[in-house]
Amino acid sequence: MSSNEVVVVTWGRGGEAFAGEVDDILTLGRGVAAATGGALNWLTLGPVSDTIRQTAGTYGVANIDHIEDAKLAEFSADATVAALAQYCEQHSPRVVLIAQGFDVRLVAPRLAAKVRAGVVMNAAAVEVDGGGKLSVTASAYGGDTRAVYEIAGERACVVSVLANAVLPEAADAATTPAVRDFAVDLAAVDERIQVLEKPKAEGPRLDAAEIIVSGGRGLGDAANYKLIEELAEALGGLPGASRPIVDDGWVDSSHQVGLTGTITRPGLYLAAGISGASQHMAGCSAAKTIVAINTDSDASIFRYARFGVIGDCLEILPELIRAAKS
């Protein structure tokens, strides 16, 4: 590495579910490419669908680079790292942007080590100064603070970007990206990690929800989570949760909002019995309106909430459900 190119990398989902999923990192990538003076390319491991072409054009992508190989049909970390390293060695991108997810934690640091690049996880912004120096702002210490990493010299950097960190913005002028095939040799790759069971990912996604009703330890008991589900349904939203009630098995981890759960950006986020710890707020503070119900008037959540109710959520939630249904 490195040229001035910026590459956004995606894999999985057969290319069909990308609308609304990469808009933020493509927006970020376009800004960085404009500042480095390089092209914005999108590297996809898998088929190039119409959705990918359309989205790429909307966000100003110059080239869609495409790798297809039997070893990449299902996600496997070693094959993905090997394919990306071969691509990076040939193209020498200055910045590799990947949307942070569970798979990415297995890929980004290893890719960076293989191609001798820097790596920043939990990133929220990338800036390039007048002299071309890169700096990456990322969430640090479990979401308690933000750190700014300066990438020394002309070194390349692999950046894993938190979901919803950037507001998507289409390019002023749409492009018609060229599709370029890139051949990789993965024959020598021997996968070291075997996935025995995949988490279920059915139904609507929390990170795309406009309304989220979340419950925390203040609900008191697993059985009371049904109040959260009922209110979410009545409002046409989705139920969320703080981490302790996920850890205690009240609800499955697909509902967890926060730094180690899902990062959301809904229009309305209603938090019942949630204290407002920084790690939870990392997943919902970008909501347009936060409404909090808490018995403790000093709870941190009230610092973020536009509307707050000091009281027992077990009394207030049934009233809200009644009102929402009527």
Ligand X SMILES: Cc1cc2nc3c(=O)[nH]c(=O)nc-3n(C[C@H](O)[C@H](O)[C@H](O)COP(=O)(O)OP(=O)(O)OC[C@H]3O[C@@H](n4cnc5c(N)ncnc54)[C@H](O)[C@@H]3O)c2cc1C
Q: Site for ligand X (CB under 6 A): which residue of 268, 277, 287, 290?
A: 277
Choose which of 113, 296, 307, 318 interacts with ligand X (CB under 6 A).
Answer: 296
User: Is there a contact between 232 and 269 (Cβ–Cβ < 8 Å)?
Assistant: no
Single residue of 121, 213, 294, 305 touching ligand X by CB under 6 A:
294
* Strand intervals (E) in the chain: 6-11, 40-45, 63-67, 95-99, 118-128, 134-140, 145-151, 157-161, 178-181, 211-215, 238-241, 268-272, 289-294, 307-310
Residue placing its CB nearer to ligand X in the complex, 91 or 280: 280
Choose the binding region for ligand X from 3-11, 40-48, 170-178, 279-287 (rule: CB under 6 A). 279-287
Please tell me the distance from the alpha carbon of residue 288 to that of residue 286, in angstroms, as a whole number.
6
DSSP string over 183-199: ----TT---------PP
Is 259 a binding residue for ligand X by CB under 6 A? The answer is yes
Decide if residue 317 touches ligand X (CB under 6 A). no
Give the shortest CB-108-to-ligand X separation in angstroms.
18
Q: Which of 275, 287, 308, 321 binds ligand X (CB under 6 A)?
A: 275
- Tell me the H-state helices in 59-201: 77-91, 102-114
d(CA 296, CA 225): 20
Tell me whether residue 141 or residue 181 sits nearer to ligand X (CB atom): 141
Taking CB under 6 A as the criterion, which residues in 211-250 touch ligand X? 216-218, 220, 242-244
φ, ψ dihedrals at 275, nearest 5°: -75, -30
Pick the piece of the chain touching ligand X (CB under 6 A) from 8-16, 129-137, 185-193, 276-284: 276-284
313 binds ligand X (CB under 6 A): yes
Classify residue 102 as exposed, middle or buried by CB count within 10 Å of its CB (0-12, 13-18, 19+): exposed
Q: Which is nearer to ligand X, 159 or 251 (CB)?
A: 251
Q: How many CB atoms lie within 10 A of CB 190?
A: 6
Least distance to ligand X, CB of residue 278, Å: 7
**Nearest alpha carbon to residue 39 among 64, 69, 12:** 64
Which CB atom, from 55 or from 242, has the smaller least distance to ligand X?
A: 242
**Contact letters (x/-) for ligand X, 48-87, by CB under 6 A?**
----------------------------------------
Spacing of C-alpha 43 from chain mean position: 17
- Kindly state whether residue 44 participates in binding ligand X, applying the rule CB under 6 A: no
In whole angstroms, give the CA distance from residue 265 to residue 280. Answer: 13
Q: Kindly determine how many residues on this chain lie close enough to bind ligand X according to the rule CB under 6 A.
A: 28
Nearer to ligand X, 49 or 260 (CB): 260
* Angle (deg, nearest 10), helices 225-234 and 313-325: 30
CB-based contact 155:117 (threshold 8 Å): yes
Rounded to 5 degrees, φ, ψ at 171 are -70, 155
Q: Which of 258, 290, 305, 308 binds ligand X (CB under 6 A)?
A: 258
Rounded distance, CA 251 to CA 247, Å?
8
Does 105 engage in binding with ligand X (CB under 6 A)?
no
Provide, rounded to whole angstroms, the least separation between the CB of residue 209 and ligand X.
Answer: 16
The secondary element (H helix, E strand) that includes residue 272 is strand 268-272
Q: What angle do CA 233, 239, 243 make, to 5 degrees?
A: 165
Q: In angstroms, what is the minimal distance from the CB of 271 to ligand X? A: 8
Of residues 107-146, those binding ligand X (CB under 6 A): 142
Q: Looking at 49, 253, 260, 285, which residue binds ligand X (CB under 6 A)? A: 260
* Contact residues for ligand X, defined by CB under 6 A: 142, 216-218, 220, 242-244, 256, 258-261, 273-275, 277, 279-280, 283, 293-296, 299, 312-314
